Amino acid sequence: MLAWTLASARSSWWAMFYVYVPIFAVTSGLGAETGGMVASIGTAWVCMVPVWGWAGRRFGLRWLLLTGYAISGALSVGAAFSFAAPWVGALLLVMAAMGASLVDGAGNLLFLRAVHAHERAEMTTVFQSFRDVSQLAPPAVCAVLLSLFALPAVFVAGGAVMLTSAALCRHIPRRL
């Protein structure tokens, strides 16, 4: 259950990032090209997964996931409060994506460690439902938020989900 929840949060954050970062760039006056550039640079952090893997082996999976969720969450909330300075917000979102990429490399290891090898085939179908949830829930939640609040609320919500996930990482066994 913990692995599914953390994977859902991670995937939901990326869904929010890909949709609302370009909207942020356009509405704040940075332009569509800058929005695409911010999303691309944020995505490029995923190329650092081998480095994050080394850090996970060196410091532990629990530390790696907690750090990634906390960085991503805190910087997403920070970006929401820096809408008056759009370049600062863009930089914070790029760095938040770095935090999310920390989680990407090791995010599904919790599932692999929790499920016995003979149960993986059956349990993988259940676990992979996080993808469906994370593609449907963020647009629904963000639609409600945007009907009540301005665009920064989306980044506050995304950051809150990631910070909550960081708190949930304390339930990961220390030996991981």
**Which residues are within 8 A (CB) of 124 and not within 5 positions of it... i.e. 6 or more apart?**
none
How many residues in total does the chain contain? 176
Confidence of residue 104 (pLDDT cuts 50, 70, 90): confident
Range of the domain at 145: 2-171
**107: in domain:** yes
**Alpha carbon distance 129, 157 (integer Å):** 22
**176: in domain:** no
Q: Are 89 and 24 in contact (CB under 8 A)?
A: yes
Average pLDDT, the chain: 92
Q: What is the CATH number of the domain that holds 36?
A: 1.20.1250.20
Span 12-57, pLDDT tens digits:
999 999 999 999 999 999 999 999 999 999 999 999 988 988 888 8
**Alpha carbon distance 77, 121 (integer Å):** 38
- Residue 162 predicted with pLDDT over 80: yes
